[in-house]
Amino acid sequence: MTYPWSWYSDPEVLRAEEERVFARSWQYVGHAGQLARAGDYFTTTVGRTPLVVTRAEDGELRALVNVCRHRGSVIAESEGNRHTLQCPYHAWTYGLDGSLRAAPRADFDLAEVSLLPARLEAWGPFLFANADAGAARLRTVLGDVPSQLRDGGVDVEAIGFHHRSEWTVEANWKIVCENFLECYHCPVAHKGFSALVDVSPDAYRLEAAGLVSSQYGPLRDDGRAAYDASGEVRRGQFHFVFPNTAINVFPGRPNLSIGSFSPDGPARTRRLLDYFFAPDADARWVEELLAFDDEVGREDTALVERVQRGVAAGAVESGRLLEPSEQLVAHFQSLVRDALSRGV
């Protein structure tokens, strides 16, 4: 059985998830290209915690809690390049290393106060943040994802950032994640994807280990696609790092997209995907692959928004999962249950 469908719309459940799941886990927040120069910064959130990610004058990358230590205002917005971060409320000014540089009329030693740090670790160009100081290292959480990508024809150090896509989905974050974690729906809902990738139970492989869930889809022998799928990447790989990071690789030439599923209220999810390609990738090929990916994404959005309307109606208490087709959904739900049961 699934967990109660009320969990997809209950604000109190979301509040518990923010405290017990998102505040204690590694989440993708951006890429190193956003912090190429000293003074670069960008803002993001991890659960309810606002962060500012910086490259200070010493060259170090840092994640800092983006909350002024004076009266609690959020300090930085968006992204940019500057030497300091100044709170718009009372002009307390911080260095990009978090140190307090100026506070009008201050009657204390400025060295006593600084922005709170958060964990920041990199895998290749990909940056992950974690508000939990005691969390395991990122490399432990990622498991064999890096080696699977490398063996599958994608060197994360050799691909370059192409663009970012952001949008919202009118569905609970868990519904959107669960849809990503199964291809049981693919023959019905993704005709184009299923014409390219062999999604039959005997060919489409599912694996779960720790906080990682992975799907591997080989090219069909007689596969058809809206883009040229020939190249060194011979199978699709779709990895999920709990609680909300997705990593996608399509067959063809080296490509990867990585991003997050972030709750924006009980019934809305913010989606973000950063796309990376080989530096010499043909522009027409990239355009065709992106159109194919967009088609699959739009199909998924329609699906999960229908699910949200159904589960939020309250007419049915819960559902049931099929093994082995939905084993990764079951794994995800067990991780959510375990996190919520641990308490604050």
Which residues of the chain are in CATH 2.102.10.10 domains? Answer: 27-130
Mean pLDDT for 139-160 is: 97
Q: Give every CB contact of residue 141 below 8 A, 6+ residues apart in sequence.
A: 26, 210, 211, 212, 241
pLDDT in tens, 188-214: 999 999 999 999 999 999 999 999 999
- Tell me: pLDDT of 5 over 90: yes
Length of the chain: 344
pLDDT in tens, 302-338: 999 999 999 999 999 999 999 999 999 999 999 999 9
pLDDT in tens, 7-66: 999 999 999 999 999 999 999 999 999 999 999 999 999 999 999 999 999 999 999 999
The per-residue pLDDT for 342 is 85
What fold, for 144-341?
Naphthalene 1,2-dioxygenase Alpha Subunit; Chain A, domain 1 (3.90.380)
DSSP string, 289-343: HHHHHHHHHHHHHHHHHHHHHHHTT-S-------TTTTHHHHHHHHHHHHHHHT-
37-51, 118-132, 223-237, 296-310: range with lowest mean pLDDT: 223-237
Mean pLDDT for 121-150 is: 97
Mean pLDDT for 259-267 is: 97
The per-residue pLDDT for 30 is 98
CA gyration radius for the chain? 21
- Tell me: pLDDT of 271 over 90: yes
Instruction: Report the amino acid identity of residue 7.
Output: W
The per-residue pLDDT for 92 is 98
The per-residue pLDDT for 343 is 62
108-132 residues labelled b (16+ CB within 10 A) or e (exposed): eeeeebbbeebbbbebbbbbbbbbe
Residue 5 corresponds to which tokens in the numbers above? Answer: 């469908």
The per-residue pLDDT for 1 is 78
In the predicted model, what is the mean pLDDT of the chain?
A: 96
Mean pLDDT for 136-150 is: 97
The span from the CA of 13 to the CA of 173, in Å, is 12
Mean pLDDT for 92-114 is: 97
The domain 27-130 is placed in CATH, from the list 3.30.710.10, 2.102.10.10, 3.40.640.10, 3.40.50.720, at: 2.102.10.10
150-183 residues labelled b (16+ CB within 10 A) or e (exposed): eebbbebeebeeeeeeeeebebbbbbbbbbbbbb
The span from the CA of 321 to the CA of 36, in Å, is 45
- Tell me: pLDDT of 344 over 60: no
Which residues of the chain are in CATH 3.90.380.10 domains? Answer: 144-341
Mean pLDDT for 213-218 is: 97
